[in-house]
Amino acid sequence: MTHGNSDSLTGHGLISSLLTTLDSSPGVYRMLDAESRVLYVGKARNLKARVSNYARPTGHSARIARMIRETASMMFLTTRTETEALLLEQNLIKQLKPRYNVLLRDDKSFPNILVTDDHAFPQILKHRGAKTRKGAYYGPFAGAGAVNRTLNQLQRVFQLRNCSDSMFESRTRPCLLYQIKRCSAPCTGEIGADDYAAAVTDAQRFLSGRSTQVQEKLGRDMAAASDAMEFERAAALRDRIKALTQVQSVQGVNPRTTPEADVIALHMEGGQACVQVFFIRANQNWGNRDFYPRAGVDVEPTEVLEAFLGQFYDTKDPARLILLSHPIENPDLMQDALSQKLGRKVEIMVPQRGEKAELVENAARNARESLARKMSESATQAKLLNGLAEAFGLESPPKRIEVYDNSHIMGTNAVGGMIVAGPDGFMKSQYRKFNIKGTDLTPGDDFGMMKEVLLRRLSRLQKEDPDRSKGLWPDLLLIDGGAGQVSAVQAILDERGITDLPMVGVAKGVDRDHGKEEFHRPGTRPFALKRNDPVLYFVQRLRDEAHRFAIGTHRAKRAKAVSATPLDDIAGVGATRKRALLTHFGSAKAVSRAGLADLKAVEGISDAMAETIYAHFHEKG
């Protein structure tokens, strides 16, 4: 329910007037400005008591005092419990991104290792996303690097296959991985089902933290093979034991008394914050990731860490033990919320001594060093943006630069790419691709492609942020091209009535040589920067990143087109059914010629689907 005031009260006066409408229920409140933009989302054990704090005219930090002054209305939602209020608060913060809340900006998913359970010879592979496939999942790992390292080492030790099921079925002789002792080649019968199953069990024991049992078993097997004078097998087992020892030694942090934990440490400096998260699973370090939540100079560490935990675990399962560098305001409440989410008890600790305290100190050191690096990079980036503003005659350093490029081969699979950069470097979550849709373009018409991309982009901006209040508009457009491209883009800006958007064309210059770039602006002569100017290198990096992104997008589109078949146009035929049909008939053409009875014989294709497929190819009157 939204509460405002007909007398146009704001700040303390408004909040005081709303207290009579509140009771002592737990719940969530939102503070909104005069234009109904959400300023802040908070939770309360007692809504009336919590909101009454904001009605006091003094005693607030500068940030909170500013927020109160801007408050023109509030929204309240009561909940049954304070735990529900906490969960709802963090969900709303992630959804609404209020200006005055601590906000986790980077919230990517983490990869896992999957040992499949839907095949006679299970596959081991990296998995990211929903856990829909049957099998055992181990993780999370901090990133692709950490999971790939572990997978490579596991392949050396246990030699489990990582090929797809269709590849497995089609092999007639072992692949290269068998030759370099990374796979035991069950596809061609080089290992029996029982021995392979034993290797799978050992790999799962290792991933579950029972590596000592695995080493002891391998040692016994090696001794038995040696006694039986099976020296080749004994040597292979010796190599696996060596590889297993190496896996454990390269982990870096291998806690003996902490089998499972998320170690979370915060470092704050100059109004910036870095949170370092280490994943300890199966007594092993499965990598770490740093995060830079939006905070401020007058935000306390307790508030930053509590907000981080709530938002971080909104879409992720917590470990049974969470080790923190700082206490949080409501540890019991957070424990209860995370325990409900996991379905078993979660404990939150701020350790003071012993191995757990060492783990936290290690994470805190990483947080300090990561924040120092980021602040140094930010200072360098600020200098470059200042230099860019000076070189291109901008009123102020740009906070958002959009760089555009196209990619195609003779006009086919044409795409446009847009990358975004700002004070924190490349903003990859803001990158966009544009499939070129124009049917009247001649192959290779770069002007026409750029025109289509810019028209679509500007139309969206004018629709989604017409008054430029949301910060979606760029401060500078960089276009790959010279005078012709600049004129074409300027015509688009004029057509849309946009007169205050700086735009620069970056042309290759003499001999298309790096370092001899020419810069074009509407109504001025082309100019160049000195070869050793850091701003020139910065522009080159921006243009190269746009080119890389556009080419990657084009290649992905081309690869998809190459693998496309007429089956893609049939409603209800997805990847699984398509694979079943191609495996059964050998080609899409053979599917199109197949009789109804033959289609019904395909595993996974129902009678109704067989009739749909048959009708698609035979009833196109």
Please report, for the domain that includes residue 582, its CATH number: 1.10.150.20
Which 3 state secondary structure label does DSSP give 442? coil
Q: Do 572 and 551 belong to one domain?
A: no
Give me the pLDDT at residue 255, please.
75
Please indicate, yes or no, if residue 589 is contained in any of the structural domains. yes
Please indicate, yes or no, if residue 380 is contained in any of the structural domains. no
Q: Which of 521, 544, 560 is the last residue of a domain?
A: 560
The span from the CA of 345 to the CA of 168, in Å, is 41
DSSP secondary structure of 330-364: -HHHHHHHHHHHHTS--EEE---SHHHHHHHHHHH
Q: Which of 96, 122, 157 is the last residue of a domain?
A: 96
> Which residue segment(s) compose the domain that 586 sits in?
566-618
Query: Of 114, 119, 126, 122, which is closest to residue 197 (Cα–Cα)?
Result: 122
Q: What does pTM read for this prediction? A: 0.74
Q: Do 455 and 494 belong to one domain?
A: yes
Please indicate, yes or no, if residue 332 is contained in any of the structural domains. yes
Q: Do 268 and 298 belong to one domain?
A: yes
Please indicate, yes or no, if residue 36 is contained in any of the structural domains. yes
Strands 412-422 and 135-138: unpaired
Q: Do 574 and 556 belong to one domain?
A: no
Query: Of 294, 293, 349, which is closest to residue 326 (Cα–Cα)?
Result: 349
Give me the pLDDT at residue 1, please.
58
The span from the CA of 96 to the CA of 485, in Å, is 38
Does residue 191 contact residue 184 with C-beta atoms inside 8 Å? yes
Q: Do 525 and 448 belong to one domain?
A: yes
Query: Of 543, 429, 549, which is closest to residue 482 (Cα–Cα)?
Result: 543
Give me the pLDDT at residue 381, please.
92
φ/ψ region of 572 (left if φ > 0, alpha if ψ in -120 to 50, else beta) reads left
Please indicate, yes or no, if residue 328 is contained in any of the structural domains. yes
Q: What is the CATH number of the domain that holds 310?
A: 3.30.420
Q: What is the CATH number of the domain that holds 464?
A: 3.30.420.340
Q: Do 552 and 415 belong to one domain?
A: yes
Chain centre to alpha carbon of residue 170:
34
Q: What is the CATH number of the domain that holds 86?
A: 3.40.1440.10
Q: Do 612 and 546 belong to one domain?
A: no
Please indicate, yes or no, if residue 102 is contained in any of the structural domains. no
In the predicted model, residues of the chain with pLDDT beneath 50 are 5-6, 411, 621
Give me the pLDDT at residue 315, please.
84
Q: Do 412 and 555 belong to one domain?
A: yes
The total of other beta-carbon atoms located within 10 Å of residue 259's CB is 16
The span from the CA of 54 to the CA of 65, in Å, is 9
Give me the number of domains the chain comprises: 5
Give me the pLDDT at residue 621, please.
41
Task: Supply φ then ψ for residue 524, to 5 degrees.
Answer: -130, 160
Please indicate, yes or no, if residue 447 is contained in any of the structural domains. yes
Q: Do 230 and 266 belong to one domain?
A: no
Q: Do 198 and 311 belong to one domain?
A: no
Q: Do 492 and 476 belong to one domain?
A: yes
φ/ψ region of 410 (left if φ > 0, alpha if ψ in -120 to 50, else beta) reads left
Q: Do 148 and 192 belong to one domain?
A: yes
The total of other beta-carbon atoms located within 10 Å of residue 453's CB is 24
The span from the CA of 74 to the CA of 76, in Å, is 7
Q: Which of 67, 96, 125 is the last residue of a domain?
A: 96
Please indicate, yes or no, if residue 393 is contained in any of the structural domains. no
The span from the CA of 181 to the CA of 240, in Å, is 10
Strands 27-32 and 73-78: antiparallel
